[in-house]
């Protein structure tokens, strides 16, 4: 299907929905979906909702708020409590299911209170190739994915976002901070804060994409392959900053950044 036809299909889906709540992270996909929704529906028929949680960086929350404001769309911030769920904290391979179950259950309740017909998330076709247990929660609760329904891939979303002048078009992919912790290692707020702190330091140092894989006192850092040499040669003062977060050993993954590397050990 040609890109213009996919865009027509997406607008048609949104128009037919009449009203919707959009799970809005402020990332590439949800920003694109919210932008198209804001042109396909009256603004008072759309509500963007962003979850505030220790599993996501605070700076992402601020960015989401700014984007929604720029689009002129109603925006609500809620708190999710996945760290209160022992099933999530235990961190088995189904961890993502319990996180999304918490989020989507709250979003469904908000949509009902606001008389919005549908809850949409911003999953795209490219996401289907990844191991995502949260998809089961989405399906169970009847949350729809218009970008998947219109057959959009990640690359197509970036291309159209650039054409539309969206600042998010080349934004690095972001995943829940809990995804940095190996299955079987309990998820805790201090661990999430350490991961967030290390990744923030390296982003400020100019690395385009960073994953801090957490192993208690050891951290395995992934950056794009073309940036590995620079990472290996960072100055001692930056290394000291990273170690101040509580890591005794800072290591570099020579395979470089790739999505879902923690799933490699379970063959997913």
Q: What is the pLDDT of residues 113-143, one digit of tens each?
A: 999 999 999 999 998 887 888 899 999 999 9
Distances (CA, A) of 179 to 41, 89, 150: 35, 12, 28
**Cβ atoms within 10 Å of 132's Cβ, excluding its own:** 17
183 plus 134 within the same structural domain? no
| 134 domain-assigned | yes
The two three-digit tokens of residue 98, written as one number: 């319990």
In a domain, 171, yes or no: no
- Whether residue 99 is found in the same domain as residue 55: yes
Name residues of the chain where pLDDT drops below 50: none
Counted domains in the chain: 2
| Whether residue 142 is found in the same domain as residue 216 | no
112 and 36 in a common domain: yes
151 and 225 within one domain: no
Task: State the CB neighbour count (10 A cutoff) for residue 115.
Answer: 8
Give residue 108's domain range.
3-163
* Strand duo 74-79 + 46-52: pairing: parallel
Give the per-residue pLDDT at 132. Answer: 85
Residue 18 CB coordination number (10 Å): 12
What pLDDT is attached to residue 220? 96
């Amino acid at each position: 299907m040609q890109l213009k036809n996919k865009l027509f299909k997406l607008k048609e889906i949104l128009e037919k929905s009449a009203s919707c709540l959009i799970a809005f992270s402020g990332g590439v996909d949800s920003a694109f979906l919210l932008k198209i929704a804001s042109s396909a529906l009256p603004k008072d028929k759309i509500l963007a909702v962003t979850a505030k949680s220790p599993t996501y960086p605070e700076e992402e929350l601020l960015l989401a708020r700014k984007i929604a404001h720029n689009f002129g769309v109603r925006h609500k911030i809620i708190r999710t409590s996945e760290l209160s769920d022992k099933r999530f904290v235990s961190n088995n391979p189904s961890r993502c299911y319990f996180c999304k179950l918490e989020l989507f259950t709250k979003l469904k309740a908000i949509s009902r209170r606001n008389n919005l017909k549908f809850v949409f998330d911003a999953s795209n076709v490219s996401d289907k190739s990844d191991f995502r247990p949260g998809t089961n929660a989405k399906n169970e609760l009847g949350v729809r994915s218009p970008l998947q329904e219109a057959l959009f891939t990640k690359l197509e979303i970036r291309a159209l976002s650039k054409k539309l002048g969206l600042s998010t078009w080349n934004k690095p992919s972001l995943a829940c901070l809990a995804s940095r912790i190996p299955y079987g290692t309990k998820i805790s707020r201090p661990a999430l804060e350490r991961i967030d702190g290390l990744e923030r330091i390296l982003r400020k140092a100019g690395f385009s994409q960073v994953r801090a894989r957490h192993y208690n006192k050891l951290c395995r850092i992934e950056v794009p392959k073309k940036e590995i040499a620079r990472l290996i040669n960072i100055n001692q003062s930056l290394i000291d900053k990273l170690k101040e977060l509580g890591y005794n050993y800072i290591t570099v993954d020579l395979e470089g950044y790739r999505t879902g590397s923690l799933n490699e050990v379970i063959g997913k």
